[in-house]
């Protein structure tokens, strides 16, 4: 019976190694193509022109280094694999975070520029002239985005299409209001300066309301982070105080089942708390 079990285990291990050797290079090639394409498009949004292949190599070397470091420190292949997988997928999460932060900065800078444009229009300037004088004085990312609008216009792109391209790069409510107001003024006329002042007031009030909501829901977000970190910190402390008792949790099938259940419950709790505190303004 023991010999049959060992034979089945060896066959299963051989099949797993064969499948891993067969599919791992294909998966790495696919992930590399996805990573380089995403990096090329995303870095272009930030006006950063870096080589995606170099970034892929840095990410891969970092993944291998974290795997070796985690394995040396913990002695557990599972922890080393989890750490390497986290490093491998970290650039996507980082790009999402930077993209969201860039949009928030753009929307915060927009009211001041709109008020300056309204003043320039009341002084008799045209829209393009006002943009050419105001955009170089504004900080990034607003100066980069509207500077690209002016460059597209100089290259022959219609002003309305350049504004639509701006909204595609910055799909937020503030840029949508600005693009709609400028397009309506270009086609139908009207008091554009007053419209821009009203749009600036609306965006500023919405930004203040979002900041107030974020402050009121900060306790819920802090509870989510504490709920995530507390079991991990408690497990590390107990492992340091009584490693023999905690060894049953790390090195047994029942312990891995318990850890899996804890991880699933943690993810569900985080998801529910995020849904509760995610108030759309």
Domain residue ranges in the chain: 103-205, 217-281
pLDDT of residue 46: 63
pLDDT of residue 23: 65
pLDDT of residue 3: 60
pLDDT of residue 182: 81
pLDDT of residue 14: 59
pLDDT of residue 18: 58
Find where tokens 């259940």 sit. 261
The three-class DSSP label of residue 42 is: helix
**Rounded to an integer, what distance in angstroms lies between the CA atom of residue 126 and that of residue 153?**
14
pTM: 0.68
pLDDT of residue 120: 85
DSSP code for 139: P
- Helix and strand numbers, DSSP H then E, in the chain: 11, 0
Task: Please identify every stretch of the chain with a pLDDT value under 50, giving residue numbers as ranges.
Answer: none
CATH of domain 103-205: 1.20.81
Among 149, 153, 154, 141, which Cα is nearest to 166's?
Answer: 149
pLDDT of residue 9: 58
pLDDT, tens digit, 9 for 90 and up, residues 230-241: 888 888 888 888
């Amino acid at each position: 019976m023991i010999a049959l079990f060992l034979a089945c285990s060896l066959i299963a291990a051989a099949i797993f190694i064969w499948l891993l050797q067969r599919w791992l290079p294909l998966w790495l090639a696919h992930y590399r193509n996805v990573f380089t394409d995403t990096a090329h498009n995303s870095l272009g949004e930030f006006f950063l022109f870096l080589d995606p292949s170099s970034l892929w190599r840095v990410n891969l070397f970092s993944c291998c280094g974290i795997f070796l470091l985690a394995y040396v420190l913990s002695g557990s292949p599972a922890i080393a694999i989890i750490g390497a997988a986290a490093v491998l997928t970290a650039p996507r999460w980082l790009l999402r975070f930077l993209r969201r932060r860039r949009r928030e900065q753009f929307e915060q800078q927009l009211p001041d520029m709109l008020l300056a444009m309204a003043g320039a229009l009341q002084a008799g300037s045209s829209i393009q002239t006002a943009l050419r004088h105001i955009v170089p004085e504004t900080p990034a990312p607003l100066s980069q985005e509207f500077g690209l609008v002016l460059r597209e216009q100089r290259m022959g792109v219609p002003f309305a299409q350049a504004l639509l391209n701006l909204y595609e790069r910055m799909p937020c409510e503030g840029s949508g209001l600005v693009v709609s107001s400028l397009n309506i003024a270009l086609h139908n006329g009207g008091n554009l300066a007053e419209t821009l002042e009203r749009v600036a007031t609306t965006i500023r009030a919405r930004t203040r309301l979002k900041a107030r909501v974020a402050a009121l829901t900060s306790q819920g977000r802090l509870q989510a982070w504490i709920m995530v970190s507390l079991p991990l910190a408690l497990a590390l402390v107990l492992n340091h105080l009584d490693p023999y008792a905690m060894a049953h949790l790390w090195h047994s099938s029942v312990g891995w089942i318990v850890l899996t259940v804890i991880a699933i419950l943690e993810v569900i709790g985080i998801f529910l708390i995020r849904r509760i505190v995610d108030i759309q303004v």
